[in-house]
Homo-oligomer: A and B are copies of this chain.
Amino acid sequence: MSDGQTGSTHETRQRIVRAGTELFRRSGYTGTGMKQIAEAAGAPFGSIYHFFPGGKAQLGEEVIRTSGAVYLGLVATLMAPYEDPVAATADAFTAAADTLLKLDFADPCPIATVALEVASTNEALRQATSEVFDSWIERLGAYYAAGGIPGPAARETAASVIALLEGAFMLARAARSTAPVLSASGAAAAIVRAALPEG
């Protein structure tokens, strides 16, 4: 790049975004300090403000959008091999329960805690979380439409399935148990089945 940005500074920037993503998952946006992010990224404190002159709000927005895009890809990868949207949905919840365990009950959703924290307090970040959720609903809705759910019901089904997954993560993290996600697997299957045309 003409401003002389090297591969190495690009990597530092990426490490900062990754560290922010991991810390927001555990401690949320308000509970995570810039100093903590710098330390977790192994980056000098000052370098954060070099990369993010807008400070925590700018870094927060980039974390939301970057991790949102990663998850959008995950939705597609996870569902693609399935012909049956009911089985695909149920299995996605079972896989999510595994992820929750692997993360030691940090939130598998990178934007959930931030979304609740900023919804009434930071309009730019609220907007960013809204656009990310919307991109997931859109993608999953297109998958359900291809699987036979008619019209606007495909999108509504996608929104409810994503809502159920987010809420199941909340109950599971509070209880430190995967049970709410595993029982939500059957409930998610029921939502999708009910939206498919009879027969």
Determine how close the nearest CB of chain B comes to the CB of A192; give it in whole angstroms. 9
Cβ contact of A160, chosen from B27, B187, B193, B194, cutoff 8 A: B187
Scoring A residues 18 to 44 as 1 if CB is less than 8 Å from chain B, else 0, what string do you get? 000000011110110000000000000
Contact B163–A168 (Cβ < 8 Å): yes
Task: Judge whether A61 is part of the interface by a CB distance below 8 angstroms.
Answer: no
Cα separation A106 to B167 with both chains bound (whole Å): 17
**Which positions 156-181 of chain A face chain B at CB distance < 8 Å?**
156-157, 159-168, 170-171, 173-176, 179-180
**Which positions 99-151 of chain A face chain B at CB distance < 8 Å?**
104-107, 112-113, 115-117, 119-121, 126, 129-130, 133-134, 137
Task: Judge whether A87 is part of the interface by a CB distance below 8 angstroms.
Answer: no
Can you name the residue of chain B whose Cβ is closest to the Cβ of A161?
B187
Cα separation A106 to B166 with both chains bound (whole Å): 18
Can you name the residue of chain B whose Cβ is closest to the Cβ of A128?
B174
- Interface residue tally of chain A, by bracket? 35 or more
Can you name the residue of chain B whose Cβ is closest to the Cβ of A111?
B174
Can you name the residue of chain B whose Cβ is closest to the Cβ of A115?
B174
Can you name the residue of chain B whose Cβ is closest to the Cβ of A184?
B160
Cα separation A161 to B167 with both chains bound (whole Å): 9
Most buried by B among A105, A174, A193: A174
Task: Judge whether A74 is part of the interface by a CB distance below 8 angstroms.
Answer: no
A sample of 13 cross-chain residue pairs with beta-carbon separation below 8 angstroms, ordered by A number, consists of A25-B120, A105-B119, A107-B116, A107-B120, A112-B170, A116-B173, A119-B173, A133-B174, A159-B168, A160-B184, A166-B167, A167-B170, A190-B195
| Chain A residues proximal to chain B, CB less than 8 Å | 25-28, 30-31, 104-107, 112-113, 115-117, 119-121, 126, 129-130, 133-134, 137, 156-157, 159-168, 170-171, 173-176, 179-180, 183-184, 186-187, 190-191, 193-195
Known: A116-B170, A130-B174, A163-B171. 4 other contacts (CB 8 A): A105-B119, A156-B186, A163-B164, A164-B164
